[in-house]
Amino acid sequence: MNIFLNSSGIQEEGSCVSKAVSLGDFVYVSGQTGKGNTIAEQTISCANALMDAVEPFGLKMHHLVKFTVYLKNLDDKKEFLDVFSKFIEPPFPSCTLIQAARLENDALVCIEALGVNTLRYEKAQKEHSCSGGCSHCDGDCQN
C-alpha cells in the first residue's frame, strides 16, 4: 500500500480504479465519460464529474492544468470547446484532443486530467500579503 497516495473514491463501474489520486502536489484524474445524448450534454457531464473527482481534495477546476480529451468524432471539437470553455478560465490549461474509435458506454467524449494542488501555496501567499500581520484570518482581514 502506498501511504503517500490518496484516492477520491472508486471510478463508476470500476472496482479497482480510482476517480482521482493525489501524490504530493499532483492530482491525476481518470477519464470521465460523458452522459447524455449530445456532445454538449456529455461535455457538461464530464466537466461536472471532473469537479466531483477533485472536490474531496479541496480542489476546483482551476487546479486542473492539463486535459486529454477523447472525442468519438473530431468534428465535434468546436462544439466541445464552446461548452468546455464555460468551465475553465485564464490562464487556460493545456489540452490535447484525440479522436477515439470507441469510448466506454459508447460515449461521445471522455476527459482525463492532471492537476496541481496549490492550496498550501495559496494560503501562504494570503498570509504573507495580510496587512494585519496575523496568521489566522486567511488574508481576509480588513486591518
In this prediction, residue 139 carries a pLDDT of 52
* Number of separate domains in the chain: 1
- Which regions of the chain does DSSP assign to beta strands (E)? 5-7, 20-23, 26-33, 64-71, 94-99, 109-116
In the predicted model, is pLDDT for residue 45 greater than 90? yes
pLDDT(36) > 80: yes
- Which pLDDT tens digit goes with each residue over 88-133? 999 999 999 999 999 999 999 999 999 999 887 777 777 777 665 5
Question: Residue 21 and residue 131: Cα distance in Å, rounded?
Answer: 36
The answer to whether residue 129 sits within a structural domain is no
pLDDT band at 143 (very low <50, low <70, confident <90, very high): very low
Q: Could you read off the pLDDT of 1-13 as tens digits, one per residue?
A: 454 566 766 777 6
* Domain carrying residue 26: 5-118
Task: Confirm whether 128 is domain-assigned.
Answer: no
The size of the chain, in residues, is 143
